[in-house]
């Protein structure tokens, strides 16, 4: 079953379950709890994410644009996906706007800087 546009999943016997804001294990527990209430004694439910929101890479990269998110994505991996930095890129910091936020935050560009689904990354220009 797939979540609809409102973040709900409709299942036989139990009806609608709200999935927005829940992780896959939390959704599993919610569905299992609903099935336990009068239908099954020991339900086994599995939930997994099939597709994530894309990320966006802007600024001083060779191919700015929209790219698919993959789990454990770092800023450096995202830049590599966009075919690397341009010669003018500031390789010391990145500007990140998290999904749902209007604020862009400057962060040091390190090997372990993680990206979340729906993030927008902007690689700035260096001056010297």
DSSP 105: E
For range 16-41, the mean pLDDT? 90
Condensed to tens digits (0 to 9), the pLDDT of residues 35-52 reads 999 788 999 999 998 888
Q: What pLDDT, on a 0 to 100 scale, did the predictor assign at position 113?
A: 92
Q: What pLDDT, on a 0 to 100 scale, did the predictor assign at position 118?
A: 93
Q: What pLDDT, on a 0 to 100 scale, did the predictor assign at position 127?
A: 84
Contact 57, 82 (CB under 8 A): yes
Condensed to tens digits (0 to 9), the pLDDT of residues 50-79 reads 888 999 999 999 999 999 999 999 999 999
Q: What pLDDT, on a 0 to 100 scale, did the predictor assign at position 29?
A: 94
pTM of this prediction? 0.76
**Token digits of residue 66:** 């929209």
Which alpha helices (H) appear in 37-110, and where do they start and end?
75-81
């Amino acid at each position: 079953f797939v979540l609809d546009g409102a973040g709900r999943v409709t299942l036989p016997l139990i009806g609608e379950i709200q999935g927005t804001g829940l992780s896959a294990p939390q959704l599993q527990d919610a569905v299992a709890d609903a099935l336990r209430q009068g239908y099954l004694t020991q339900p086994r439910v599995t939930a997994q994410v099939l597709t994530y929101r894309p990320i966006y890479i802007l600024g001083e990269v060779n191919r700015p644009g929209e790219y698919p998110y993959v789990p454990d994505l770092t800023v450096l991996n995202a830049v590599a996906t966009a075919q690397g930095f341009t010669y003018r890129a500031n390789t010391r910091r990145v500007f990140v706007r998290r999904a749902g936020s209007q604020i862009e935050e400057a962060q040091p560009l390190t090997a372990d800087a993680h990206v979340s689904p729906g993030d927008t990354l902007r690689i700035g220009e260096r001056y010297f």
